[in-house]
Amino acid sequence: MEQNAAQPPAPRVAVVLFLLKDESVLLGRRRSSVGDSTFALPGGHLEFGESFEECAARELKEETGLEINKTELLTVTNNVFLEEPKPCHYVTVFLRANLADPEQVPQNLEPEKCYGWDWFAWDNLPNPLFLPLEKMVKSESFEACAAREVKEETGLDIDNIEVLKVTNNLFHEGAEPSHYIMILLRAVLANPDQLPQNLEPDKCDGWDWYEWDSLPRPLFWPLEKLLQDGFHPFLIV
């Protein structure tokens, strides 16, 4: 390999916020080399040691002067910008929050980065949208994906689906090392009398029910790691 070969830019983490007011969401029109003049959510780069929630609150305050509460994780998307002047790769973490004071008015505190902020009805969003937001709006939700996969694999219908946790998993061993962002959800059976079927026998030897405190071994590595970290889906409320 040539020593002077150009290295691809490393992926970065962006945290963005759906700030809600009644049936509207706050958007700003970007002034940037990436996605210039597209409409985007408030947010920015995750700094070392920050939680997602801390990053969202800091970025919003710096950009608009607004303060928030009731912040919650919504989804994560993987975005590669190959057609921009400077190609880049972002993992974008989406959160949702409400105004701490509903009478607050957004200010444009970083005019070199944004043309201005305004509230837009979710059913009437402006165009063009910034790519991560457009991708998120058009994509299958985690809840829809989970319901579809469970149905395809087991024939079961589920209800009361909610996101619990997002994990970052590197599989170094095996013929093909891989890297997965895993989104864990929780649900209940739509009908408690349903029985799981093995509808994809080429992928699974079969399904059965196990007590959480007496799980079989060996477990798939991401699940094993969750247990080691003290994760317990029945204790999360």
Q: What is the CATH number of the domain that holds 219?
A: 3.90.79.10
Q: Of 185, 205, 193, 196, whose CA–CA distance to 152 is shortest? A: 196
Give bridge partners of residue 17 from the DSSP assignment: 95
Lowest mean pLDDT among 125-134, 170-179, 182-191: 170-179
Residue 140 has pLDDT above 80, yes or no: no
Q: What is the widest separation between alpha-carbon atoms in the chain? A: 63
The verdict on 149 and 128 lying in the same domain is: no
Q: Is residue 74 part of a domain?
A: yes
pLDDT interval class at 174 (50, 70, 90): low
pLDDT at 2: 45
Instruction: Count how many domains the chain has.
Output: 2
Q: Is residue 4 part of a domain?
A: no
- Domain end marker among 138, 171, 189: 138
205: left (phi over 0), alpha (psi -120 to 50) or beta: alpha
pLDDT interval class at 169 (50, 70, 90): confident
Residue 13 has pLDDT above 60, yes or no: yes
Q: pLDDT tens digit string along 85-99?
A: 678 888 889 999 999
Q: Is residue 147 part of a domain?
A: yes
The verdict on 160 and 131 lying in the same domain is: no
By CB atoms closer than 10 A (0-12, 13-18, 19+), residue 23 is exposed
Mean pLDDT along residues 2-8: 57
The verdict on 44 and 61 lying in the same domain is: yes
The verdict on 43 and 146 lying in the same domain is: no
The verdict on 95 and 166 lying in the same domain is: no
pLDDT at 221: 86
The verdict on 133 and 219 lying in the same domain is: no
Mean pLDDT along residues 33-43: 93
The verdict on 210 and 132 lying in the same domain is: no
pLDDT at 85: 66
Structural domain containing residue 155: 142-228
pLDDT interval class at 77 (50, 70, 90): confident
pLDDT at 84: 61
pLDDT at 95: 95
The verdict on 36 and 121 lying in the same domain is: yes
Q: Is residue 37 part of a domain?
A: yes
Q: Which residue has the higher pLDDT, 187 or 165?
A: 187
- Range of 58-72, 137-151, 174-188 with top mean pLDDT: 58-72
Q: Is residue 120 part of a domain?
A: yes
- Domain end marker among 104, 120, 138: 138
The verdict on 147 and 127 lying in the same domain is: no
pLDDT at 89: 87
pLDDT at 127: 95
CB 225 within 8 A of CB 167: yes
pLDDT interval class at 161 (50, 70, 90): very high
The verdict on 150 and 133 lying in the same domain is: no
Q: Of 72, 69, 44, whose CA–CA distance to 58 is shortest? A: 44
Q: pLDDT tens digit string along 205-215?
A: 999 999 999 99
pLDDT at 88: 84
- Domain end marker among 138, 156, 188: 138
The verdict on 151 and 131 lying in the same domain is: no
